[in-house]
A and B are shown apart, each in its own frame.
Chain A
């Protein structure tokens, strides 16, 4: 699974480095012409993302980008800044279909698929309807009805959670075979311990797999899945302590001790009349015209004045 595809020969044209499945590289010309990049919805964020669609098979690939600071490519006799590495990896289209099914479920009725998979923002979503064995695929996540040989679908949360549980189990198996570090402790991804299976607990694997799957489903569904799998609450969601401004009661806040009663009266009256020291007297005699109080240099007003000039 390796192929460098560069688009454009000119020095100024942006070149993309791609890793695509081997069979796409070796594919016939006809199939290659059926490959297209499309912008579809990201089922997790609801925003746009780039996908690769193979019209001939048809098949869906998601595009992931490797992006790190301070990297560049040398491609033959040219330089490509950025150092991006694009991956086209097969994607289960059900995650995308699910996005539309959940959206349509708000109406709470059975609908034909063409009515469900509609998007003004990403009109290319109709490509999803071309996928083979769509009915079989949808059976994992929907209830269906057939009237006059026409199928109507309705999102089923129960079925979906069951399906997602299978996904989590599959992911766990893949995590184990690939020795992915799933422990909660901080450890470098580049560090391979000799015996990873024994050091990572089963629970860590489930949580990790759940998190990974959650990158492909909306937040609400992720939470539901977490409950369904009886996962412990993630530590990140521990409520932060209330900020000090929060009022705990409606009663007006009063100081417990009144420090002012000792000095208010005395200071105001006595100090004015008190005798000044020799140095203070000398200072008082100084011609202060044109001098500003030190306070004025720190106030916001002073800054504004300068800004206008």
Chain B
């Protein structure tokens, strides 16, 4: 997988895709959506879609794609290479969300939570496939039925999405967004539907590679990259985080600042920073109610000109 575009600039998001197989523009297709790297405090989160014509679903199953979590890293690579080989009927697209993008989204003035970010990314990829002319919006299921080998449930349901958390609301949202497409959102969809398994393999391979070749934006000397799994409950990851705290800047951009793990380490090890929207304990702006009623002489305030501009006379230097 060629992730050179991500390596050039890994501070935002990066979309990668295979060429669209011509058969996918003609024949009705199934599409699977899955993600990798949702939980780790380190590195990017990758969203992937995979699609193939309904008529070739059996061929995809023949590749023995399975839930990426059950496969070893080398097996995942082998399967991804096989899908690349079968580029004449399997297409995929990826969206790599850098840890920096995740941090800035979740910690913005208007909070944009991880679920919304995930859902919007998945929606974006589905829209991308439609824009590329992939024939997903095909609810006419008649010609496909003969090839439905997996289960009867797949009847006319052409987009399969793996979910974390309640799938009902997610499905409703996607269905509203794509009224012409039959959307199925299910937990553990990556184990149930081969297209979702294939998507999960794409996502996982991209995430592995991105983490392995991560180019740190910061000029850090002899940075050790031995950070374990990257998940917050990994003691190795925690130790790595604690070792890489700068008192002023905190962590390198590889770390998702919005994670509770990262924040609690910052609270302990780094200097305090207050922002405009910080919830400070001392309520400076509040005066005692009584102070509004006293008749005593109020201190003369500087003229409005100075107050409006935040200017005051210097009394100490």
CA gap between A98 and B311 in the complex, in Å? 23
Q: Contacting chain A: which of B153-161, B165-173, B300-308?
A: B300-308
User: Chain B: residues with CB nearer than 8 A to chain A?
Assistant: 248, 274-276, 278, 295, 300, 302-306, 308-317
Q: State the Cβ distance, B284 to closest chain A Cβ, in Å.
A: 8
Between-chain CB contacts (< 8 Å), 19 pairs: A44-B300, A48-B315, A50-B315, A50-B316, A63-B313, A64-B312, A65-B312, A65-B313, A66-B310, A67-B310, A70-B274, A70-B278, A79-B248, A208-B304, A211-B303, A211-B305, A212-B305, A215-B302, A215-B303
With A65-B313, A240-B295 given, name 13 new contacts (CB 8 A): A37-B317, A44-B300, A48-B315, A62-B313, A63-B313, A64-B306, A64-B312, A67-B310, A67-B311, A68-B310, A70-B275, A86-B317, A243-B295
User: With contacts A67-B310, A70-B276, A189-B308 known, is A47 near B315, CB below 8 A?
Assistant: yes
Across-interface contacts of B295 in A (CB, < 8 A): 240, 243
Q: Across the interface, do B309 and A66 meet the contact criterion of CB distance under 8 Å? A: yes
- The verdict on A54 contacting chain B, using a C-beta distance below 8 Å, is no
Q: State the Cβ distance, A283 to closest chain B Cβ, in Å.
A: 40
CA gap between A50 and B314 in the complex, in Å? 5
Could you mark each residue 69-83 of chain A with 1 if its beta carbon is under 8 Å from any beta carbon of chain B, else 0?
110000000010000
Q: How large is the interface on A (under 10, 10 to 19, 20 to 34, 35 or more residues)?
A: 20 to 34
Chain A residues 44-66 with CB under 8 Å of chain B are 44-45, 47-50, 62-66
Across-interface contacts of A219 in B (CB, < 8 A): 300
Q: Across the interface, do B314 and A86 meet the contact criterion of CB distance under 8 Å? A: yes
Across-interface contacts of B312 in A (CB, < 8 A): 64-65, 67
User: With contacts A45-B300, A70-B276, A219-B300 known, is A63 near B314, CB below 8 A?
Assistant: yes
- The verdict on A214 contacting chain B, using a C-beta distance below 8 Å, is yes
User: With contacts A50-B316, A50-B317, A79-B248 known, is A66 near B311, CB below 8 A?
Assistant: yes
Q: State the Cβ distance, B82 to closest chain A Cβ, in Å.
A: 51
Q: Across the interface, do B317 and A180 meet the contact criterion of CB distance under 8 Å? A: no
CA gap between A27 and B110 in the complex, in Å? 49
Chain A residues 13-68 with CB under 8 Å of chain B are 16, 37, 42, 44-45, 47-50, 62-68
Across-interface contacts of A212 in B (CB, < 8 A): 303, 305
CA gap between A79 and B249 in the complex, in Å? 10
- A-B pairs with the 9 shortest C-beta distances? A63-B314, A50-B314, A189-B308, A68-B310, A49-B313, A211-B303, A215-B303, A64-B311, A65-B314
Across-interface contacts of A243 in B (CB, < 8 A): 295
Chain A residues 237-286 with CB under 8 Å of chain B are 240, 243
Q: State the Cβ distance, A202 to closest chain B Cβ, in Å.
A: 18
Q: Across the interface, do A64 and B303 meet the contact criterion of CB distance under 8 Å? A: no
Across-interface contacts of A66 in B (CB, < 8 A): 309-311
Residue of A nearest to B293 (CB): A243
Our pick among A49, A79, A189, A240 for the contact of B314 (Cβ within 8 Å) is A49
CA gap between A67 and B278 in the complex, in Å? 18
Q: State the Cβ distance, A165 to closest chain B Cβ, in Å.
A: 18
CA gap between A69 and B305 in the complex, in Å? 18
Across-interface contacts of A69 in B (CB, < 8 A): 276
User: With contacts A70-B275, A70-B278, A79-B248 known, is A211 near B304, CB below 8 A?
Assistant: yes
